[in-house]
Amino acid sequence: MSLPTSTRFSDNYDLKEELGKGAFSVVRRCVQKSTGHEFAAKIINTKKLSNRDFQKLEREARICRKLQHPNIVRLHDSIQEENFHYLVFDLVTGGELFEDIVAREFYSEADASHCIQQILESVHHCHHNGVVHRDLKPENLLLASKAKGAAVKLADFGLAIEVQGDAQAWYGFAGTPGYLSPEVLKKEPYGKPVDIWACGVILYILLVGYPPFWDEDQHRLYGQIKAGSYDYPSPEWDTVTPEAKNLINQMLTVNPGKRITASEALKHPWICQRERVASVVHRQETVDCLKKFNARRKLKGAILTTMLATRNFSSRSIITKKGDGSQVKESSDSSTTIEDDDVKARRQEIIKMTEQLIESINTGDFEAYTKICDPHLTAFEPEALGNLVEGMEFHKFYFDNVLGKNCKAVNTTILNPHVHLLGEDAACIAYVRLTQYMDKQGVAHTQQSEESRVWHKRDNKWQNVHFHRSAVTGPSPFSFNHK
């Protein structure tokens, strides 16, 4: 099916309110003039795109053109104008599937079977057309509308790739940590089976409300995944049918060559004979656990959104909800999405810049500090008594009158740094800062604080544009604590 390509967007569509915003794009509701039908128009400012981002846009549009399925958010039109590219998608208003489940009065194993069937139908269509999604997760599973029984829609093809048949190759490190397959983590050739692994993780969550692989330490998490180390603990799994567990086992098979395919999974008795096989008992414990699971996901997104809003940056992967229930999930690297070695190098660059900035504070080098910071740096920190301070005057006072007067920093360590890349020229980092210092009496102390910084690249140079620090724990070395 060929996708119509128009010459000018305004000839065919009227733009309405904004639904969401990304680093290089905005999504607005639009109405087709000839039919009155509503769509979501993703408007990309191509002037701001790097060559790499432009190639990603072209790939995403090319992939979406050939995916026409009732369980996939459909691309209806693609319009290229000077400086802007318009992608016209389905307007999906039902919100996330996982959020809808916890609002239901009744939810059973049979309902989970129906959900995963629709997801598998979308994945089967992708694979049949030579497309691997690579980022299947709850955030990308939407509902067409608020109506009961609305179709599940797979969204966000920003990381999707095109493959030839069942060919396996190394396409780069891409996906979201808890849903990555063993072969990706081992950096082995991979293909369509990575999507089935992610479906297995999603099905596990659909049945009990928590994931099969979980650890705050990413290294240990990856170890669990590579070993295929998961189980079915009591009592929550005692009421799940053996057929459901059998399907999960076939999806979460470590060897991708032995993993079930989408076509085979759709023929599994728990899917195609759910009326006879799947339990119809209400699973209240699952709903309760899923509420907590959703809350954790939303909290992580909210923290990132708050940090970005201070400087009017937006993650290209945040789902923005409007009062009318509309919801748009933009396509790109999410706050939890991992891509390739280049991304890893860019994250390390942000960590290095943060370490250099902290070193300038420890040494009292205000000149070096000002070179790393934006002149209009904004900051929330205890020393400012909860106020947002802007500019360098507060920091100059701190360096001149407080820093090093009552103590001397001996060592500073950044613990558990998490870097979120927001396009080519913006990033934020969150970490725990541990500072060891000596007071005037020569007594050693340790101080800990949770910090986050937003970085922006201007003229090929990274600058810190926003800083947020929690109240410190441990004895305060002076009336104003370390910045």
Q: Which residues are catalytic?
A: 135
* DSSP code, position 210: S
Cα separation of 469 and 474, whole Å? 15
Cα separation of 464 and 357, whole Å? 9
130: left (phi over 0), alpha (psi -120 to 50) or beta: left
Instruction: Confirm whether residue 42 is marked as ligand binding.
Output: yes
Q: What are phi and psi of 447, to 5 degrees?
A: -130, 140
For tokens 């009292």, the residue is 364
Cα separation of 131 and 75, whole Å? 15
3-state secondary structure of 44: strand
Per-residue three-class SS string for 225-251: HHHCCCCCCCCCCCCCCHHHHHHHHHH
Distance from chain centroid for Cα 127: 23
CA distances from 107 to 100, 139, 218, 280, 424 (A): 10, 20, 32, 8, 43
Please compute, for residue 341, the number of CA atoms within 13 A of its CA located in the half-sphere on the CB side.
3
DSSP string covering 79-136, please? EEETTEEEEEEE---S-BHHHHHHH-S--BHHHHHHHHHHHHHHHHHHHHTTEE----
- Helix, strand, coil tally for the chain in percent (to 5): 35, 25, 35
Distance from chain centroid for Cα 394: 35
Structure tokens at 189: 């050739």
Q: Which of 89, 175, 172 is nearest to 133 (CA)?
A: 175
Annotated binding site: 42
Annotated binding site for ATP: 42
